Amino acid sequence: MSTIDLGPQSDALDCVEGTVHVVDDDELVRGALVGLLESIDLRVRTFSSVEEFLRAPEAEGPACLVLDVRLRGQSGLAFQKSVVDKGLPHMPIIFMSGHGDIRMTVAAMKAGAVDFLAKPFRDQEMIDAVIAALDRDMKRLETEQSLRGLRANWETLTEREREVLRHLVTGLMNKQIAAAMGVAEITAKIYRGHAMRKMNARSVAEVVRMMQALAGQGVT
């Protein structure tokens, strides 16, 4: 690895945060990556095997995994495949290998890896990949937090208020919603107003986006 050249990434580094997990059975590689990543104020945790990594407690906040392809015990690619096959959410993975080939790279990227770096790689390549991975994980965590808030708001609705929103997102007007529910139009308007306030929705378009997000989670 070479001397760090921050270049245009310097502004991005001012706000990047998170934990980088490094899994490599080469102690020298682990040490070099610790020095590199701590130099840009990232937290780094190192492991010599996938098994050791899995035994460690999860880190809070955004995180990524820098993973060697060939390891003693379970290989990096086998670990990635097991995570994908089980449908488990997991931190973004950056693969590195001194024996990588095109087939390995394609397989890793198709399974969702952020990057695949051939050893020896440039310091800047690793920094760029790590920043991209942490940014991806930050967005994932923000999305999950937003969905938790939506689900919590949905739980505060009465069944009638939920029914109004289900009709609303199909394009029905208040009068049509009232007819479908068998209530007076003013009653439908009241249900709609209560429901939108509880969901913190300022427009019908926002309600539609919220309902789509909830439907994607199997909530509505």
Arithmetic mean of pLDDT, 152-159 = 96
Same domain, yes or no, for 17 and 125? yes
The last residue of a domain, from among 90, 120, 142? 142
Q: Is pLDDT above 70 for 9?
A: no
Q: Are residues 41 and 114 in the same domain?
A: yes
pLDDT digits (tens, 9 = 90+) for 19-71: 999 999 899 999 999 999 999 999 999 999 888 988 888 888 999 999 988 87
Is 6 a residue whose pLDDT tops 50? no
Cβ contacts of 158-166, under 8 Å, gap ≥ 24: 158/191, 158/194, 160/191, 161/191, 161/194, 161/195, 161/198, 162/195, 162/220, 163/191, 164/188, 164/191, 164/192, 164/195, 165/192, 165/195, 165/199, 165/207, 165/211, 166/211, 166/220
Q: Residue 154 pLDDT > 50, yes or no?
A: yes
Specify whether 125 is located in the same domain as 161.
Answer: no
Domain coverage including residue 18: 7-142
pLDDT of residue 11: 44
Residue 160 sits in the same domain as residue 138? no
Whole-structure pTM value: 0.74
For the cut 90, the answer to whether the pLDDT of residue 88 exceeds it is no
Both 41 and 104 in one domain: the answer is yes
Q: What is the CATH number of the domain that holds 167?
A: 1.10.10.10
Regarding whether 135 and 164 lie in a shared domain, the answer is: no
Same domain for 172 and 136? Answer: no
Least confident of 3-7, 130-134, 163-167, 215-219: 3-7
In a domain, 148, yes or no: no
Asked if pLDDT for residue 101 goes beyond 80, the answer is no
In a domain, 147, yes or no: no
